[in-house]
């Protein structure tokens, strides 16, 4: 009996599941498992009031359905009587409670494993260190441009299990997936799997780049003949991804053999007997990084049957998500760019590469175990001055402070003031932290918003502020 069959047997009414974490994904899991007729226990390390603030009325909902709830800590007895344990993606698999569940031989399942076998539509799943939110949103947009009705969710914001509550509404499922979600993927199988790139990230959880890459590659573990894997061939590690027999391997990137090849002005599709050029100049996808993102999305859209005309229309009208190389304002000739979503060193390096000028870089936050030495060449070449924030500031200064002038800031407003003072006309002030945000902010979005507020509060000395009319992605 395989893992999914075992889990399916545990979905019978009267079985008891424990859920660790009541964030957005955890609350969706509660509703899904109640719909299956299970008895539930939930535990969250946050105070009860914080959970209630996130979704007013949810605690009453738990009480109405007889769900045992605990907050502030995980009790020693929480595992008692459980037939299944479902940790939220952010719960470390090395946590004491999960290790104790292993010792008791309580099965573990993530949301992907719970959803496996329950899809009424084919699945496109996207993972990678950088660009997956943009690619997920772009694929969904291309499908809509072609008249399809996709569910778009996963790590992008809408939980996957929300789809499972009403699967008949959609003709495609498009999911952004993190390595945390893939750790417990079980028998989850996408008809189209996309691995964009792998740069060191979340090493504080995975321990090594090899373990992190292995988690990402679980995306393809359950694929079989006639499924497709779309891989970034410019990334040597990704290009070597092992696939099951019969799975179609399609590559995108700058290489001549790529099925979707990135060129200076756009992307060239060379799939089977078809060749077609998609121009990107004048779109929000014209930069080098976004041309790669577009190439991955075009391949996926073609596999779903989208016409070239519909894809072209979608590429032209696509608006990238916020906090990804977004121009906030131009003040006294200095361009202020928000790339708060650059939460690892690979994304930071990509942001600097895409930056149109010398940069005063605002970086730092909660360290994720990356090697800042990998940034040495690009920092020495592109950064005029470095302003560091957060817990990782001393670590970053130890490595990068030898290359460029550097100072620390206690908060974002001070960081923007220091960066503004160091910048020259023609420079960019770039927020690309290279770290997570959770030492100072609720997430990367709050970090980016506070950066934008601080920029807008600057008082120009002899010049006017030109505020961006909309989020303008230059990457």
Q: Is residue 464's pLDDT more than 60?
A: no
* pTM for this prediction: 0.77
Backbone angles phi, psi at 341, to 5 degrees: -75, -5
C-alpha 251, offset from chain centre = 21
How high is the pLDDT of residue 87?
A: 92
- Model pLDDT, residue 1: 42
Q: Which residues are paired to 39 by β-bridges?
A: 16
Rounded to whole angstroms, the Cα distance separating 212 from 410 reads 32
pLDDT beyond 50 at 463: no
Under CATH, what is the fold of the domain 326-467?
3.90.190
Cβ atoms of residues 104 and 80 within 8 Å? no
String of DSSP letters for 27-65: HHHHHHHHHTT-EEEEEESS-HHHHHHHSTTHHHHHHHT
Instruction: Tell me the pLDDT tens digit for each residue of 172-189.
Output: 999 999 888 888 888 999
The alpha carbon of residue 431 and the mean position of all alpha carbons in its chain are separated, in whole angstroms, by 18
pLDDT > 70? residue 248: yes
Is the predicted pLDDT of residue 209 greater than 80, yes or no? no
Enter the tokens of residue 394.
């001393």
Helix (H) or strand (E) holding 153: strand 150-154
Q: What is the DSSP string of 409-436?
A: -SSHHHHHHHHHHH--TT-EEEE--SSB
**Lookup: tokens for 457:** 């509060």
Please give the pLDDT value at position 199: 74
Q: Which of 268, 255, 218 is nearest to 93 (CA)?
A: 218
pLDDT of residue 403: 94
More confident residue, 38 or 322: 38
User: How many angstroms separate the CA atoms of 54 and 146, rounded?
Assistant: 35
CATH of 118-317, one of 3.30.420.40, 3.40.1190.10, 3.30.200.20, 1.10.287.110: 3.40.1190.10
Half-sphere exposure of 360 (CA within 13 A, CB side): 22
The architecture in CATH of the region 3-109 reads: 3-Layer(aba) Sandwich (3.40)
Return the axis-axis angle of helices 444-456 and 412-422, rounded to nearest 10°.
Answer: 50
pLDDT band at 326; cut points 50, 70, 90: confident
- Find tokens 């079980």 and name the residue: 186
The pLDDT score that the predictor gives to residue 460 is: 58
**455 burial level (CB within 10 Å; 0-12, 13-18, 19+):** buried
* CA–CA dist 99, 470 (Å, integer): 47
Provide the residue ranges of all domains of the chain, joining segments of one domain with +. 3-109, 118-317, 326-467
Provide the token pair at 391: 């817990």
pLDDT of residue 186: 87
Q: Burial-class residue 387 by CB neighbours within 10 Å (0-12, 13-18, 19+).
A: buried
Higher pLDDT, 172 or 164: 172
Neighbours of 244 (CB within 10 A): 13
The owner of tokens 């769900």 is: 67
pLDDT exceeds 60 at position 82: yes
Confidence (pLDDT) at 289: 81
Reference 220, options 235, 239, 242; nearest CA is 242
Residue 92 has a pLDDT of 81
User: Which helix (H) or strand (E) segment is 206 a member of?
Assistant: helix 203-206
Position 11 scores a pLDDT of 64
pLDDT tier at 211 (50, 70, 90 boundaries)?
A: confident
Q: In this predicted model, what pLDDT tens digit does every residue of 128-158 receive, in sequence order?
A: 988 888 999 999 999 999 999 999 998 877 8
Alpha carbon distance 468, 470 (integer Å): 5
Q: Taking all residues of the chain, what is their mean pLDDT, rounded to a whole number?
A: 88
Q: What average pLDDT does range 450-475 have in this prediction?
A: 62
pLDDT digits (tens, 9 = 90+) for 389-424: 999 999 999 999 999 999 999 999 999 999 999 999
472 has a pLDDT exceeding 70? no
pLDDT of amino acid 203: 52
């Amino acid at each position: 009996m395989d893992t999914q069959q075992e889990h399916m047997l545990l979905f019978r009414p009267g079985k008891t599941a424990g859920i660790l974490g009541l964030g957005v994904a955890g609350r969706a899991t509660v509703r899904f498992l109640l719909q299956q007729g299970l008895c539930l226990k939930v535990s969250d390390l946050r105070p009860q009031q914080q959970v209630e603030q996130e979704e007013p009325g949810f605690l009453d909902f738990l009480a109405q359905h007889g769900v045992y709830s605990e907050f502030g800590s995980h009790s020693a007895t929480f595992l008692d009587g459980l037939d299944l344990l479902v940790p939220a993606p952010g719960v470390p698999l090395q946590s004491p409670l999960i290790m104790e569940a292993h010792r008791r031989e309580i099965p573990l399942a993530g949301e992907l494993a719970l959803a496996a076998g329950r899809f009424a539509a084919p699945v496109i799943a996207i993972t990678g260190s950088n660009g997956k939110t943009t690619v997920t949103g772009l694929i969904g947009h291309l499908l809509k441009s072609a008249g399809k009705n996709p569910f778009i969710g996963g790590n992008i914001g809408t939980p996957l299990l929300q789809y499972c509550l009403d699967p008949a509404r959609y003709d495609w499922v498009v999911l952004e997936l993190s390595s945390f979600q893939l750790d417990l993927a079980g028998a989850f199988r996408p008809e189209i799997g996309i691995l964009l790139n792998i740069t060191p990230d979340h090493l504080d959880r995975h321990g090594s780049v090899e373990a992190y890459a292995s988690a990402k590659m679980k995306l393809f573990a359950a694929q079989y003949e006639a499924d497709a894997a779309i891989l970034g061939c410019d990334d040597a590690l990704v290009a070597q991804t092992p696939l099951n027999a019969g799975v179609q391997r399609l590559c995108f990137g700058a290489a001549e053999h790529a099925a979707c090849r990135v060129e200076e002005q756009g992307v060239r599709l060379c799939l089977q007997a078809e060749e077609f050029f998609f121009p990107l100049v004048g779109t929000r996808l014209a930069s080098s990084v976004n041309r790669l993102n577009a190439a991955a999305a075009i391949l996926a859209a073609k596999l779903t049957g989208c016409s070239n005309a519909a894809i072209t229309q979608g590429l032209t009208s696509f608006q990238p998500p916020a906090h990804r190389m977004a121009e906030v304002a131009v003040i006294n000739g200095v361009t202020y760019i928000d790339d708060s979503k650059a939460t690892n060193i690979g994304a930071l390096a990509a942001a600097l590469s895409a930056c149109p000028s010398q940069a005063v870089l605002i970086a730092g936050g909660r360290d994720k175990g990356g090697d800042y030495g990998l940034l040495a060449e690009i920092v020495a070449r592109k950064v005029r001055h470095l302003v560091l924030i957060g817990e990782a500031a001393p670590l970053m200064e130890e490595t990068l402070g030898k290359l460029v002038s550097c100072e620390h800031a206690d908060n974002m407003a001070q960081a923007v003031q220091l960066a503004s003072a160091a910048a020259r006309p023609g420079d960019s002030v770039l927020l690309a932290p290279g770290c997570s945000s959770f030492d100072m902010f609720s997430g990367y979005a709050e970090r980016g918003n506070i950066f934008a507020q601080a920029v807008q509060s600057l008082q120009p000395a002899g010049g006017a502020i030109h505020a961006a009319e909309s989020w303008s992605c230059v990457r």
